[in-house]
Structure 1
């Protein structure tokens, strides 16, 4: 790394100009990036998608979106039959396919009060999910007024459904990723000012700005060769803020330490690059590997998240190891003013903490494992599914419609009906007429409804099944699976469209390769860290601790969101009853890499102290004394970035940000401040064991246990 730092300083002008150009062009790229990103979360090749495509092809409506559900509360004394002359043509005129009391004759479209009625509106479908969703949202905005104008005077009209409820769960305009990044940046500046006590606090923010905007430029170029998921923009903006500051924080802190020991600017830069720079390189590599591992998942949008997300740690490492040394060499001492903090000695508070952990290492290890294992056990109860309707909009027209349905005795499962496409009966085979209700089914009705597509010849019979339980619940998914299995057996060739079944199919496809992903990632990480730490035990412990840390973060998501212990108190949102199926995978990819940052920061310094002649316990104390404040500050900055993301619209972003935030806090406190130093102290000299055969494979120096420094207690 010292040779590389000399190359950087030799070519400082060219490198500086290059980053200035990328910064400026990246700013332009960030302004147009959103319209080039893919908004769809559709997973191709599943039975649900094939069924959805068949319905869309034959009826040009419906597909993979749940229908809009207009709810009409007629005035006292007016029955649905009395209102038929005006309501039937009004409902039939709605764009798309409408299934209601008038098209089916089924009185279960009417509530127990005899005055509340609902309809299912399957909006026009083109096969472009984001475009179809926008069409549905636009229709939901104007439909209440249009129906109220035709309905009997005094009729209350609301339009609900999973789409309108999700749209109203937050401000759809949102604060925008820029505003959220600024919020995270403001919090980061406060933490950095405390850490440095000088104008050096501005440097990590500068590195983050260059890294984020440069990454946006690369992602914009990437959109021309592949589809990139829209959520990547949030990830780069906010997670980039965290990792770029992490890396620059480590390098600047080490530079200050060398300067405090009497080195000149340039010598301090070379020494910082040889130690902290190497740790930054390894950390960035592990974060990038964690995200790149998503390419194992056979889903296009997940692969795009992995590739797009991988760019930010790579670019952040490049900026930290090239631009930052140039700035420190030229302006470091002038920026280190008023220098309210010094780095000549380790933190006394962290030295005291580390000695306490070493002295009570069995208690520290047991206590930290108790917390992590308890949360990991809670994670076993995770239900992967969309948030229930209760956890979506709590006000507005869509919420009022949902309340009206329930007050009339109509179950919320009607918001997530099944569309059943059956082949025409032939040779005595059963057809759509054989479909009947059963346990968990509210109604089974003809699904052709109104509209030009419904009257077109050559269409397969279409039936709509209204379940009692909504698709987001475990009961709703169980019933949907039973319905599809039963129909495929009794009516061969049947295709069933259901958001509950889509969730089941997506989980199967996404997590079918998860064991392979874990295996590949664990092996690659082990090899990288074994070479970095010159040890076999430390990387094995790091991999296991990271997996346990991620599992504990899952447990936090289950407690806070699925079970509601925190979602209502913090955001005013009731328990969701489930976690969206894609969130655990992405949380795993990010947390596995991000939390490894702290492992590398701490253990690299412990290894350095041990190689300098300290015993294992002394290396633990000094290593944690030097890195403890840095790690907790870096974790706090990342947490603030995720807190900013949690302020974004839509419940799924809040859940995602919570998983990352909880994971980072647990990792920086319970894992790195307790478990890691306790275990290193317990393992003693075996931490540093690297036999000759493995050293030859890793192309590094061996570290036989017999030659290690005697341990002191």
Structure 2
């Protein structure tokens, strides 16, 4: 840290303006990032269901339709006028740029599955060009064809319209979130620093972090699929961490300037060696925790790993290069335009009294807080995992209304069939279909020769496209919601009964995605535990404190998961975060995302607190006094930092997309829980009980820590 400190002190203008110039230059690419981002990314690309998708494309030239339309004729679909109107709609669709093929009830031989139960509506499917901007094409279809046209009412659903609507809502949410978070952050900074200039510095660092991050996301989008939701993470983490790290640095600089005989350069140097070291270890810890998302196969999660890593890296770089250089240049002008007098942190006060209160009765405090955290954790014991579908959008969104038509008016989910691939000649296909059609979760089963329902023949078919020299394709239309526990159960039943066949389609895609998460979760958790323990040991030189930190973080995490299940699975707090659809499940990918991000961000406050406690212990104070003074000097900063980070993410809780609500509310809750209950109550209680053991480590480990712990 010393060489970097010398550089920013002696080359302040180069460090500051060079950093700003690089960020501004990066905007050339960064502003193009939005056009390259994609929806989806929840599937496992190496799964059996993906193999089925590949076979359907390569051997049958078949893909799931990107757009599914429900056409309400307003009369019987057997009326000749209905067929005429359907042909007009088909021609209008085919004339839309980006649409490749269109099929419907009429063009496929009038199969019963494509007709509504009341006989008044039909399915129509549109497949889009592979190289088309499918979300944009879906937007055009919804705008120009959806609604009342050609004597019919047309509802537009499917994954392309869902993606289009999500992108549109997120763009609106981003503007709204920033308009809420930025003014609130500025007010908090003014309250903490009492000076407009000092309050503005953290926002400047956050701005540089966010703008620079967009450039790297743009680069990523050129080489790999990148989720559109990563923009929200960049905004939340960029603002939150940028402000947090700058808050820590500016506060320490001002504290050093209040000391006698301390020059500006000396204050910057001390700030770098103390708060700067904390920022470095904090950023490294958060970044490595974010990398745990790379253990999962879904690019939705991998995108967040990259976006989080970039945001953290730039926040650290801005706080350790641009900010100290600026502090060295402005010196005491950082206190200009004061709104009220700033008082440096003392060694006694409300936070130290709280710490001493806790440490006088550590067992009682420990038991009470554990009961509270356990109660929250218990709320999550009945969690049912699902996957995102149209219902992540507002209930009155046109795609949701369209998909509800499918749910309510048709026997099965014809647009989301279970796709079964059988090696040619390996099984009696017709008997297999008969057996499958007996399943209560299946509406009908189609083979190349016939359609079966409830174990009997429903319809004899002419030669179909469901067979080639290598494979036979079977389509089973489910009654159940494909991306749900019921869809998972159906997939697993089929696979267990017939292990030699391959099962794909929406239900299998969801099943494999969930398996991809659960199978890789232990490896991600192991990575998080090992990296966190190693880094905290290098930071503190203690063997026990890193283990304590990891255990407390997991306790906070489990409590947060329970809270999210109570809100989003059980449908609570609508009055606070607005309306959303409670489906009885909670999205598995989003839950993992909240868990990993919350764990990483919570380590921020552990490091903020431990740095001050260790500083006092290194001066010769015992554990009780070290904890009391450490909490006193860091309590206000930790609370403010948590409020800023919580505000940055809670702004997304007003989103019209429910997984963004979950991300915003979940991280905000986790951060506030950690900064209050965990750091202010459990940490002092446990450190009091551990006593001298807090600082124990074998001699050889102490030697390693001195060599690589960046003490200087």
Q: TM-score range by the shorter chain?
A: 0.7 to 0.9
Greater shift, 594-603 or 497-506, is seen at: 497-506
Q: Structure 1 pair 681/219, CA: closer, same or farther in 2 (3 Å)?
A: same
Q: Deviations over 1:371-430 (max 9, x none)?
A: 32333333343333224665644225444445555665x467556332344455589665
Q: Structure 1 pair 321/189, CA: closer, same or farther in 2 (3 Å)?
A: same
SS at 2:437's partner residue?
coil
Q: How many residues align?
A: 683
State the match for 2:457 in structure 1.
none
Contact kept in structure 1, 2:102 and 2:126, CA below 8 Å:
yes
Structure 2 gap segments, 5+ residues each? 95-100, 452-462
Q: Distance in 1 between matches of 2:624 and 2:267?
A: 27
TM-score by length of 1: 0.86
State the match for 2:361 in structure 1.
360
State the match for 2:665 in structure 1.
658
Contact kept in structure 1, 2:385 and 2:484, CA below 8 Å:
no
The reply on whether 1:336 has 2:335 as its aligned counterpart is yes
SS at 1:539's partner residue?
helix
SS at 1:271's partner residue?
helix
Q: Structure 1 pair 447/544, CA: closer, same or farther in 2 (3 Å)?
A: farther
State the match for 2:16 in structure 1.
16
State the match for 1:327 in structure 2.
326
The reply on whether 1:614 has 2:611 as its aligned counterpart is no
Contact kept in structure 2, 1:387 and 1:576, CA below 8 Å:
no
Greater shift, 370-379 or 588-597, is seen at: 370-379
Contact kept in structure 1, 2:395 and 2:581, CA below 8 Å:
no
Alpha-carbon distance, 1:627 to partner: 0.9
The reply on whether 1:480 has 2:477 as its aligned counterpart is no
Equivalent residue in structure 2 for 1:180, among 177, 188, 198: 177
State the match for 2:454 in structure 1.
none
Q: Deviations over 1:34-58 (max 9, x none)?
A: 2344555153221111111222334
State the match for 2:54 in structure 1.
53
State the match for 1:34 in structure 2.
34
Q: Distance in 1 between matches of 2:279 and 2:569?
A: 36
Q: Deviations over 1:290-320 (max 9, x none)?
A: 1123333455564453234212222221221
The reply on whether 1:305 has 2:307 as its aligned counterpart is no
Q: Distance in 1 between matches of 2:163 and 2:583?
A: 12
State the match for 1:280 in structure 2.
279
State the match for 1:376 in structure 2.
377
SS at 1:80's partner residue?
coil
For residues 101-250 of structure 1, the aligned pairs below 5 Å read 103=108, 107=112, 109-111=114-116, 114-119=118-123, 121=125, 123-124=127-128, 126=130, 131-144=133-146, 148-149=149-150, 151=151, 155-161=152-158, 164=161, 171-172=168-169, 174-175=171-172, 177=174, 180-199=177-196, 200-223=198-221, 226-250=224-248
Q: Distance in 1 between matches of 2:230 and 2:394?
A: 25
Q: Structure 1 pair 16/700, CA: closer, same or farther in 2 (3 Å)?
A: closer
SS at 1:512's partner residue?
helix
Contact kept in structure 2, 1:591 and 1:664, CA below 8 Å:
yes
Alpha-carbon distance, 1:465 to partner: 2.5
Alpha-carbon distance, 1:667 to partner: 1.2
Alpha-carbon distance, 1:671 to partner: 1.2
Q: Structure 1 pair 544/218, CA: closer, same or farther in 2 (3 Å)?
A: same
Alpha-carbon distance, 1:205 to partner: 0.7
Contact kept in structure 1, 2:40 and 2:163, CA below 8 Å:
no
Alpha-carbon distance, 1:642 to partner: 0.7
Contact kept in structure 2, 1:419 and 1:498, CA below 8 Å:
yes
Q: Distance in 1 between matches of 2:401 and 2:174?
A: 30
Alpha-carbon distance, 1:230 to partner: 3.7
SS at 1:465's partner residue?
strand
Contact kept in structure 1, 2:44 and 2:513, CA below 8 Å:
yes
Contact kept in structure 1, 2:194 and 2:341, CA below 8 Å:
yes
Alpha-carbon distance, 1:501 to partner: 1.2
Q: Deviations over 1:407-458 (max 9, x none)?
A: 65x4675563323444555896657864534211223346999xxx976995
Q: Structure 1 pair 398/279, CA: closer, same or farther in 2 (3 Å)?
A: closer
State the match for 2:513 in structure 1.
506
Q: Distance in 1 between matches of 2:571 and 2:109?
A: 39
Q: Structure 1 pair 2/378, CA: closer, same or farther in 2 (3 Å)?
A: same
Q: Structure 1 pair 392/39, CA: closer, same or farther in 2 (3 Å)?
A: closer
Q: Structure 1 pair 306/216, CA: closer, same or farther in 2 (3 Å)?
A: same
Alpha-carbon distance, 1:171 to partner: 4.5
Alpha-carbon distance, 1:238 to partner: 2.0
Q: Distance in 2 between matches of 1:238 and 1:169?
A: 18
Equivalent residue in structure 2 for 1:644, among 647, 651, 655: 651
Q: Distance in 1 between matches of 2:217 and 2:87?
A: 50
Greater shift, 383-392 or 507-516, is seen at: 383-392
Q: Distance in 2 between matches of 1:439 and 1:507?
A: 23
Contact kept in structure 1, 2:380 and 2:562, CA below 8 Å:
yes
Contact kept in structure 2, 1:471 and 1:500, CA below 8 Å:
yes
SS at 2:620's partner residue?
coil
The reply on whether 1:589 has 2:596 as its aligned counterpart is yes
Alpha-carbon distance, 1:136 to partner: 4.3
RMSD: 3.4
Alpha-carbon distance, 1:649 to partner: 4.7
Contact kept in structure 1, 2:430 and 2:447, CA below 8 Å:
no
State the match for 2:536 in structure 1.
529
Q: Structure 1 pair 424/7, CA: closer, same or farther in 2 (3 Å)?
A: closer
Alpha-carbon distance, 1:582 to partner: 2.0
Contact kept in structure 2, 1:71 and 1:160, CA below 8 Å:
no
TM-score by length of 2: 0.86
Contact kept in structure 2, 1:168 and 1:393, CA below 8 Å:
no
Q: Structure 1 pair 393/277, CA: closer, same or farther in 2 (3 Å)?
A: closer
Structure 1 gap segments, 5+ residues each? 703-713
Alpha-carbon distance, 1:634 to partner: 0.6
Q: Deviations over 1:14-44 (max 9, x none)?
A: 2123112113213333312223445551532
Contact kept in structure 2, 1:609 and 1:619, CA below 8 Å:
yes
Contact kept in structure 2, 1:70 and 1:401, CA below 8 Å:
yes
SS at 1:283's partner residue?
helix
Alpha-carbon distance, 1:349 to partner: 2.7
Q: Distance in 2 between matches of 1:232 and 1:169?
A: 13
Equivalent residue in structure 1 for 2:527, among 512, 515, 520: 520
Q: Distance in 2 between matches of 1:251 and 1:524?
A: 25
The reply on whether 1:469 has 2:460 as its aligned counterpart is no
SS at 1:419's partner residue?
strand
Contact kept in structure 2, 1:169 and 1:651, CA below 8 Å:
no
State the match for 1:542 in structure 2.
549
Alpha-carbon distance, 1:195 to partner: 0.8
Contact kept in structure 1, 2:188 and 2:640, CA below 8 Å:
yes
Greater shift, 633-642 or 500-509, is seen at: 500-509
State the match for 1:710 in structure 2.
none
Greater shift, 166-175 or 282-291, is seen at: 166-175
State the match for 1:441 in structure 2.
442
Q: Distance in 1 between matches of 2:385 and 2:345?
A: 50
Q: Structure 1 pair 142/455, CA: closer, same or farther in 2 (3 Å)?
A: farther
